[in-house]
Amino acid sequence: MKIAIIDIGTNTFKLMIVRIHENGEFVVINKEKIPVKLGEGGINNQVISHTPFLRGVKAMATHKATIDRFEVDHVRAFATSAIRSASNGEDFVKRVFDETGIQIETISGDREAELIYYGVNQALDLGGKKVLIMDIGGGSTEFVICDRQTMYWRHSFDLGAARLLEVINPSEPIKKDEIKELKSYLKEELKLLWAACEIHKVDTLVGSSGSFDSLAEMIYYKYHTEENPLVKTEYHFNLKYFEAMYKLLINSNLEKRFKIKGLAAMRVEMIVVAAIMIRFVFKTLDLKAIRLSTFSLKEGMLYDFVKTMKETH
């Protein structure tokens, strides 16, 4: 059986096609992503603007053509923050269905955090000690306090990189007072996280895909480390290299960032605010280690699909 999973994010529409065997094991046969920037020009006004709306519909039509080519049996499409919070989100869902026949399921932030946990838990051994998962999207950022057995706390904050860019509207390169403004904004907005980490002590940050992928790739290309993050499901950050990348990013302008090896073009605009957010959380909570999971939401969706399939058969 072939399954297509579409993660309809605020920045990117990601497609993953897998073949599932009867024992529940799967092999990925195709992966594609299309940068859409659905939040452009309207994300903090709770609306999908006209041009991104059309880009999104076109991206879904492109994914549908790929799905047809692979003769897929089931399609699961999940929409997250940009569509969840937009006044015309349902219009987008209807338009995509009318033009492609793909039914999009808009999931809550809580459900998104749960699925991210399932994905990360497949990629690496979370162990028996509590860790903090962080997944930075364009529209929202999810945090999960967990170990390999249990989710103790989870929350989705409307603090995605696209939203933060609109709030701060940083210079190129970002100025010191803009970094300060962003940090004080995050300090206030993440009060629920600080409180949860008072109750559940954690010392490791597990970054889920996205910006963490880019940071790991940048480190790999710059320092020629033996550990290649591109071919594994997990990666351990060297904190000295992470700090060097952070400094490089906050001192770079857009033009320079386009030339950084390992930094995907679609993340060039948002990587600075994402890096500031990661480091701010890491420092505020006095954490000791950062790990990367290359699995995230779509792998969590797949896990959930397979689990449900087993339970109903």
Q: Give the mean pLDDT of the chain.
A: 93
pLDDT in tens, 260-273: 999 988 899 999 99
What's the pLDDT score for residue 313?
67
User: Within the chain, which residue ranges are assigned CATH 3.30.420.150?
Assistant: 110-297
Buried (b) or exposed (e) across 102-129, using 16+ Cβ within 10 A?
bebebbebebbbbbbbbbbbebbebeee
Q: Exposed, middle or buried: residue 287 (CB in 10 Å: 0-12, 13-18, 19+)?
A: middle
Q: What amino acid is encoded at 267 in this protein?
A: R
Which pLDDT score, from 0 to 100, does residue 159 have? 94
Q: Which tokens hold the place of 164?
A: 């933060």
Paired strand residues for 3: 18, 74
Q: What is the per-residue pLDDT across 199-258, written as a single tens digit (0 to 9) for each?
A: 999 999 999 988 999 999 999 999 987 777 777 899 999 999 999 999 999 999 999 999
Write out pLDDT tens, residues 40-81.
876 778 889 999 999 999 999 999 999 999 999 999 999 988
297 burial type by CB count under 10 A (0-12 exposed, 13-18 middle, 19+ buried): buried
Rounded to the nearest 10°, the torsion over CA 15, 21, 22, 23 is -100
| pTM of the full structure | 0.93
Which CATH fold topology does 110-297 show? Nucleotidyltransferase; domain 5 (3.30.420)
Mean pLDDT, rounded, for 151-168:
93
Q: What is the CATH superfamily name and number for domain 2-107?
A: ATPase, nucleotide binding domain (3.30.420.40)
| DSSP string for residues in 247-304 | HHHHT--HHHHHTSTT--GGGTTTHHHHHHHHHHHHHHTT--EEEEES--HHHHHHHH
Q: Which residues of the chain are in CATH 3.30.420.40 domains?
A: 2-107
